[in-house]
Structure 1
């Protein structure tokens, strides 16, 4: 059973609806088609997903807010031969000849390291991830998963819904981003475990009245800034964190988060390699059972107790005159300043230093960049200081809640954030 907002859909409903949809689209019992699906209604998307998966075909979930032209481009890029865009009347596409007929879950990478690419994971690979996840992460066994993130993303679909169903639980899917409605659902749910994005968790932590806490929260996708982490941790009886990538799925889970950078213990179906200490951080590489090594492009290290600690994205690191600057260090310092609610640090070109730090920040009040600069001088080394500081209404985020520093840097270079707040001259 799955509850979507205020309605409960039982197994019989999904069995009947999936069979009906399979018949309407001509899905064979064993099918090698590649289907792109972009539906506004979550229940329709999930019913078609279950039908496609049962047939052993391939499916590309597309976020429901995606415009038609963009959805079509994604479907073509993933080598799909059909696109269902809010209709069971599919648009036929031309599948490239070199595409494998093996059934897979297709996902487009977030594109933080360049142009988005299609990642295909077999259903067997996903089943192995689910089995490893459940066997290792036992704390939520008596909790109710509340999925307040896109079910078209592997975080919500696999870890939120498929894991819950495998455990015999009834997941609660919340479609709206309205924090007050989400709080209502959490208050009505027995021992809720909230799967959501850092931004939503932070908003809820600020809204919760003194003395009230969420039973359990799960964060993923991007590392929490330290000020956000402190607020969310204080408002959560239990706080979990998971880490992963499109190619491997969930890699590690932390069942008791005490520091934002502690991203978890690696799941047993994966073999990790990385740095041995903070001073000797290395790329996080995991090898699957089939021997395929997956390079995450993340810098980290593994402590003696097995905890995987995240340091930075390799591609986000800023090289200022040969000195490495990790954007998170800058962001944490800025967000510790009273009044600053969010921030993103990223690289900008500099003819003298090669690269310099640029910064966008948001606040409920107007804050002069000079004040930010003076704060940073007290909390950061000289090579870490942001040289270009601009206030924006909101930090640009992707649909999954992540920040792409590469995208922000490109938009900054294109002059999108052209109006510095008064006093920006440094």
Structure 2
């Protein structure tokens, strides 16, 4: 199976609702027709099998049709973060070898299209009303033979450790991940996924769109996460599944009265660590699961997930168990497996793991050495097989010979009633090598200061882990997926 065929697995009637966007509803029959028309359009402008097609869109159905249509035409899709500046877009286009870019009109307004001329692009398509009308008049596409193990997309990592790397993912990678998610859930055609996470992000693309299509569910798409708008949808519409990042759940928990959601029965958190007190508070308030998982673009992306059943064991602070298709273990610097409870690097193996990084053979060999994906995340496993992310390997602070994991400090600070958000980093210190610094966002009206927070931490952390430097800020820098950008703080 290929990703542009996922909707055919659902075996729902053609008139079953597939996508809701603003006042427009698309049925599964319409989606199938539109994917084929977009494929025919790409073929008409000279896109051939193996060509790279870059997409720059906010959330909208046309992004899905463009992705699936280009895939059906045999192209490799290169999703672009819509917040990238032209210089960053240029790097990815050149690195990926893309010869076609499709741009939403809202994005086109912000880009100097004359500058795209230096990138040797064969096609610069602005998907405006005229272009869409032309696509709707297209006839059937020409069949292109595509094998499931062929690469279908390059997903560029956020570049926290240097220049973005293009993770090459096959159709099989995504299919394996989607089937594993189906195996551990009871979701189906009667469900309605709310998609507010950006579609260019692998978490949103796999869990909201690909899984939704595979199940025959409805997918309600919003352009972005706007708290009041999201709350209105959750309270008035039949949304049953909501995927978000921790900051979204923290905001909703403050806004919503108990029992206010109309049909929501499952919330899934990913993209960043979920503080245990947010999870506990959310579940106590609304009496349904807020399930934390773990993934990364290189794994298509979901690899670990807490059980989804309402009465299953979910451990606060844990990212759960490996999906049925995934093997996971904790290793030391020599790739020797560590025993239960010891902290090391999390490595993964399974059919959802990328084939490598585009044009980076050395980085690929290093990351996939021994047949295991080395995630760069420090983690540990408990006696029940549940995994806990301790921190990014490269974010670990070494203070006078002691290891300090920012995640541990952040979780402790978030337990203070005045703290809304926090990010902990290491800063240079001439004596200790590094010192612990905390950037803190206080809740509205709160007045906690450095001394109060340090005293609060005395019974929670070893003294060397307690930040010596505090900076109180109105907000923390985040990327489009809601993940805190520590590299900007550093």
1:352 aligns with 2:352: no
1:44 aligns with 2:106: no
Distance in 2 (alpha carbons) for counterparts of 1:56 and 1:145: 28
Does the residue aligned with 2:158 lie in a helix, a strand or coil? coil
Distance in 2 (alpha carbons) for counterparts of 1:67 and 1:179: 26
Distance in 2 (alpha carbons) for counterparts of 1:215 and 1:41: 24
Q: CA deviation at 1:328?
A: 1.7
Structure 2 equivalent of residue 273 of structure 1? 329
Give a deviation string over 1:64-106, Cα, whole Å, max 9, x none: 34344432333223332222233699968459xxxxx953211
Greater displacement, 303-312 / 396-405: 303-312
Q: Among residues 119, 124, 127, which one is paired with 2:175 in the alignment?
A: 127
Structure 1 equivalent of residue 146 of structure 2? none
Give a deviation string over 1:26-50, Cα, whole Å, max 9, x none: 3679621101110246122111111
Distance in 2 (alpha carbons) for counterparts of 1:29 and 1:72: 20
Q: Among residues 250, 271, 291, which one is paired with 1:240 in the alignment?
A: 291
Distance in 1 (alpha carbons) for counterparts of 2:189 and 2:434: 48
Q: Which runs of 5 or more structure 2 residues have no equivalent in the other structure?
A: 1-17, 122-148, 331-337, 356-369
Distance in 2 (alpha carbons) for counterparts of 1:389 and 1:104: 45
Structure 1 equivalent of residue 345 of structure 2? 283
Relative to structure 1, the CA distance from residue 238 to residue 377 in structure 2 (aligned partners, 3 Å threshold; closer, same or farther) is: closer
Please list, as runs of the form range in 1=range in 2, the aligned pairs for 1:225-374 lying within 5 A after superposition. 225-236=275-286, 237-248=288-299, 249-256=301-308, 258-274=314-330, 275-278=338-341, 280-289=342-351, 292-363=371-442, 364-365=444-445, 366-374=447-455
Q: Any conservation in 2 of the 1:82–1:93 contact (CA below 8 Å)?
A: no
Q: CA deviation at 1:185?
A: 1.4
Distance in 2 (alpha carbons) for counterparts of 1:317 and 1:349: 13
Q: Among residues 367, 376, 392, which one is paired with 2:473 in the alignment?
A: 392
Greater displacement, 296-305 / 62-71: 62-71
Q: CA deviation at 1:299?
A: 1.8
Relative to structure 1, the CA distance from residue 48 to residue 12 in structure 2 (aligned partners, 3 Å threshold; closer, same or farther) is: same
Distance in 2 (alpha carbons) for counterparts of 1:234 and 1:225: 15
Q: CA deviation at 1:345?
A: 0.6
Normalized against structure 2, the TM-score is what?
A: 0.75
1:117 aligns with 2:179: no
1:165 aligns with 2:213: yes
Distance in 1 (alpha carbons) for counterparts of 2:384 and 2:274: 22
Q: Any conservation in 1 of the 2:397–2:425 contact (CA below 8 Å)?
A: yes
Relative to structure 1, the CA distance from residue 212 to residue 258 in structure 2 (aligned partners, 3 Å threshold; closer, same or farther) is: farther
Structure 1 equivalent of residue 360 of structure 2? none
Distance in 1 (alpha carbons) for counterparts of 2:480 and 2:47: 34
Distance in 2 (alpha carbons) for counterparts of 1:271 and 1:282: 16
Greater displacement, 263-272 / 183-192: 183-192
Give a deviation string over 1:231-277, Cα, whole Å, max 9, x none: 22323412222211111121111125743321122122222221432
Q: CA deviation at 1:398?
A: 1.4
Structure 1 equivalent of residue 25 of structure 2? 8
Structure 2 equivalent of residue 424 of structure 1? none
Relative to structure 1, the CA distance from residue 91 to residue 45 in structure 2 (aligned partners, 3 Å threshold; closer, same or farther) is: farther
Distance in 2 (alpha carbons) for counterparts of 1:112 and 1:180: 31
Does the residue aligned with 2:458 lie in a helix, a strand or coil? helix
Distance in 2 (alpha carbons) for counterparts of 1:148 and 1:45: 14
RMSD of equivalent CA atoms: 2.7
Greater displacement, 86-95 / 243-252: 86-95
Question: By percentage of residues, which structure has more strand?
Answer: 1
Relative to structure 1, the CA distance from residue 65 to residue 112 in structure 2 (aligned partners, 3 Å threshold; closer, same or farther) is: closer
Distance in 2 (alpha carbons) for counterparts of 1:387 and 1:41: 42
Relative to structure 1, the CA distance from residue 13 to residue 161 in structure 2 (aligned partners, 3 Å threshold; closer, same or farther) is: same
Structure 2 equivalent of residue 215 of structure 1? 265
Q: CA deviation at 1:344?
A: 0.7
Structure 2 equivalent of residue 423 of structure 1? none
Greater displacement, 190-199 / 201-210: 190-199
Q: Which runs of 5 or more structure 1 residues have no equivalent in the other structure?
A: 96-100, 410-426
Relative to structure 1, the CA distance from residue 379 to residue 271 in structure 2 (aligned partners, 3 Å threshold; closer, same or farther) is: closer
Q: CA deviation at 1:320?
A: 1.0
1:224 aligns with 2:287: no
Greater displacement, 170-179 / 21-30: 21-30
Q: Any conservation in 1 of the 2:276–2:411 contact (CA below 8 Å)?
A: yes
> May I ask how many residue pairs the two structures share in their alignment?
403
Q: Any conservation in 1 of the 2:47–2:75 contact (CA below 8 Å)?
A: no
Relative to structure 1, the CA distance from residue 91 to residue 199 in structure 2 (aligned partners, 3 Å threshold; closer, same or farther) is: farther
Distance in 2 (alpha carbons) for counterparts of 1:284 and 1:16: 42
1:201 aligns with 2:249: yes
Q: CA deviation at 1:343?
A: 0.6
Q: Any conservation in 2 of the 1:147–1:156 contact (CA below 8 Å)?
A: yes
Normalized against structure 1, the TM-score is what?
A: 0.86
Q: CA deviation at 1:311?
A: 2.0
Distance in 2 (alpha carbons) for counterparts of 1:380 and 1:321: 16
Q: Among residues 444, 460, 463, which one is paired with 1:379 in the alignment?
A: 460
Q: Any conservation in 2 of the 1:83–1:92 contact (CA below 8 Å)?
A: no
Q: Among residues 88, 95, 98, which one is paired with 1:77 in the alignment?
A: 95
